[in-house]
Amino acid sequence: MRAVLQRVTRACVRVGGETVGETGPGLVVLLGIARDDTEADARYMVEKTVALRVFDDEEGRMNRSVVEVGGGLLVVSQFTLYGDVRRGRRPSWIDAAPPEVAEPLYEFFVAEARRSVACVETGSFRRMMEVELINDGPVTILLDSRKLF
Protein backbone atom coordinates (compact mmCIF):
# COMPACT_ATOMS: atom_id res chain seq x y z
CA MET A 1 0.00 0.00 0.00
CA ARG A 2 1.26 3.45 -0.86
CA ALA A 3 0.17 6.89 0.19
CA VAL A 4 1.00 10.47 -0.57
CA LEU A 5 0.17 12.57 2.49
CA GLN A 6 -0.21 16.30 2.13
CA ARG A 7 -0.69 18.64 5.06
CA VAL A 8 -3.47 21.03 4.09
CA THR A 9 -5.32 24.04 5.40
CA ARG A 10 -8.37 22.81 3.49
CA ALA A 11 -9.26 20.34 0.77
CA CYS A 12 -12.26 18.98 -1.09
CA VAL A 13 -13.20 16.32 -3.62
CA ARG A 14 -15.85 16.86 -6.27
CA VAL A 15 -17.54 14.35 -8.53
CA GLY A 16 -19.57 15.77 -11.38
CA GLY A 17 -19.37 19.25 -9.85
CA GLU A 18 -20.78 18.07 -6.49
CA THR A 19 -18.62 18.09 -3.35
CA VAL A 20 -18.49 14.57 -1.92
CA GLY A 21 -15.82 15.08 0.76
CA GLU A 22 -13.96 17.94 2.39
CA THR A 23 -11.77 18.78 5.33
CA GLY A 24 -10.36 21.84 7.02
CA PRO A 25 -6.85 21.69 8.46
CA GLY A 26 -5.48 18.16 8.32
CA LEU A 27 -4.13 15.66 5.81
CA VAL A 28 -5.10 14.61 2.32
CA VAL A 29 -4.30 10.92 1.89
CA LEU A 30 -3.92 9.77 -1.71
CA LEU A 31 -4.09 6.00 -1.21
CA GLY A 32 -2.91 3.35 -3.67
CA ILE A 33 -3.49 -0.35 -3.08
CA ALA A 34 -1.34 -3.14 -4.53
CA ARG A 35 -2.73 -6.49 -5.66
CA ASP A 36 -1.08 -8.34 -2.75
CA ASP A 37 -1.96 -5.88 0.03
CA THR A 38 -3.79 -7.10 3.13
CA GLU A 39 -5.54 -5.62 6.15
CA ALA A 40 -2.14 -5.68 7.90
CA ASP A 41 -0.84 -3.23 5.29
CA ALA A 42 -3.86 -0.99 5.84
CA ARG A 43 -3.43 -1.07 9.64
CA TYR A 44 0.24 -0.13 9.30
CA MET A 45 -0.62 2.76 6.99
CA VAL A 46 -3.36 4.06 9.28
CA GLU A 47 -1.13 3.87 12.35
CA LYS A 48 1.65 5.71 10.54
CA THR A 49 -0.70 8.32 9.06
CA VAL A 50 -2.50 9.29 12.26
CA ALA A 51 0.71 9.36 14.35
CA LEU A 52 2.95 11.16 11.86
CA ARG A 53 4.29 14.32 13.51
CA VAL A 54 4.00 16.90 10.72
CA PHE A 55 2.03 19.64 12.48
CA ASP A 56 3.64 22.52 14.35
CA ASP A 57 3.86 22.75 18.12
CA GLU A 58 3.98 26.05 20.04
CA GLU A 59 7.62 26.53 19.03
CA GLY A 60 6.91 26.06 15.32
CA ARG A 61 8.48 22.60 15.15
CA MET A 62 6.78 19.72 13.37
CA ASN A 63 6.06 17.76 16.52
CA ARG A 64 2.32 17.04 16.54
CA SER A 65 0.11 14.51 14.79
CA VAL A 66 -3.21 15.08 13.05
CA VAL A 67 -4.88 13.55 16.11
CA GLU A 68 -3.11 15.92 18.52
CA VAL A 69 -4.12 19.02 16.55
CA GLY A 70 -7.71 17.84 16.00
CA GLY A 71 -7.29 17.83 12.23
CA GLY A 72 -9.21 15.85 9.65
CA LEU A 73 -8.38 13.37 6.92
CA LEU A 74 -9.57 13.39 3.34
CA VAL A 75 -8.86 9.91 1.91
CA VAL A 76 -8.86 9.57 -1.87
CA SER A 77 -8.28 6.27 -3.70
CA GLN A 78 -5.53 6.57 -6.28
CA PHE A 79 -4.49 3.45 -8.17
CA THR A 80 -2.10 5.55 -10.26
CA LEU A 81 0.39 5.45 -7.37
CA TYR A 82 1.21 1.98 -8.72
CA GLY A 83 1.83 3.16 -12.28
CA ASP A 84 5.11 1.68 -13.50
CA VAL A 85 6.84 3.88 -16.08
CA ARG A 86 10.27 2.25 -16.12
CA ARG A 87 9.64 0.94 -19.64
CA GLY A 88 8.03 2.91 -22.42
CA ARG A 89 5.85 5.97 -22.10
CA ARG A 90 2.54 4.47 -21.08
CA PRO A 91 2.23 3.46 -17.41
CA SER A 92 1.65 -0.18 -16.58
CA TRP A 93 -0.92 -0.82 -13.83
CA ILE A 94 0.04 -4.47 -13.29
CA ASP A 95 0.91 -3.94 -9.59
CA ALA A 96 -2.29 -2.05 -8.77
CA ALA A 97 -5.02 -4.08 -7.09
CA PRO A 98 -8.13 -4.78 -9.15
CA PRO A 99 -11.24 -2.95 -7.88
CA GLU A 100 -12.72 -6.03 -6.17
CA VAL A 101 -9.54 -6.26 -4.03
CA ALA A 102 -8.84 -2.55 -3.64
CA GLU A 103 -12.26 -1.28 -2.61
CA PRO A 104 -12.66 -3.45 0.53
CA LEU A 105 -9.12 -2.51 1.64
CA TYR A 106 -9.80 1.17 0.96
CA GLU A 107 -12.99 0.95 3.06
CA PHE A 108 -11.07 -0.91 5.79
CA PHE A 109 -8.43 1.86 5.83
CA VAL A 110 -11.15 4.50 6.18
CA ALA A 111 -12.92 2.57 8.98
CA GLU A 112 -9.67 2.12 10.89
CA ALA A 113 -8.79 5.81 10.47
CA ARG A 114 -12.19 6.77 11.90
CA ARG A 115 -11.26 4.96 15.10
CA SER A 116 -8.55 7.59 15.74
CA VAL A 117 -9.56 10.71 13.83
CA ALA A 118 -12.90 12.44 14.46
CA CYS A 119 -13.37 13.77 10.92
CA VAL A 120 -12.53 11.39 8.06
CA GLU A 121 -14.00 12.23 4.66
CA THR A 122 -13.53 10.38 1.38
CA GLY A 123 -13.68 10.68 -2.35
CA SER A 124 -15.73 8.28 -4.48
CA PHE A 125 -14.09 4.98 -5.30
CA ARG A 126 -13.70 4.29 -9.07
CA ARG A 127 -15.05 7.70 -10.05
CA MET A 128 -13.37 10.55 -11.89
CA MET A 129 -12.70 13.11 -9.17
CA GLU A 130 -11.49 16.67 -8.91
CA VAL A 131 -9.30 17.12 -5.84
CA GLU A 132 -8.70 20.67 -4.71
CA LEU A 133 -6.35 21.44 -1.84
CA ILE A 134 -4.28 24.13 -0.24
CA ASN A 135 -0.99 22.47 0.68
CA ASP A 136 0.24 23.84 4.01
CA GLY A 137 3.97 24.35 4.12
CA PRO A 138 4.12 22.67 1.66
CA VAL A 139 4.46 19.39 3.51
CA THR A 140 4.24 16.21 1.42
CA ILE A 141 5.23 12.76 2.73
CA LEU A 142 5.43 9.42 0.90
CA LEU A 143 4.52 6.20 2.74
CA ASP A 144 4.80 2.59 1.62
CA SER A 145 3.70 -0.40 3.68
CA ARG A 146 6.63 -2.41 2.25
CA LYS A 147 8.93 0.39 3.46
CA LEU A 148 10.41 0.86 -0.01
CA PHE A 149 10.81 4.57 0.71
Active site residue ranges:
78-80
Map residue 104 onto helix, strand or coil. helix
User: Element (H or E) spanning 122, and its range?
Assistant: strand 120-122
Q: How far apart are the first and last CA of the chain?
A: 12
b/e 123-145 (16+ beta carbons within 10 angstroms → b): bbeeeebebebeebeebeeebbb
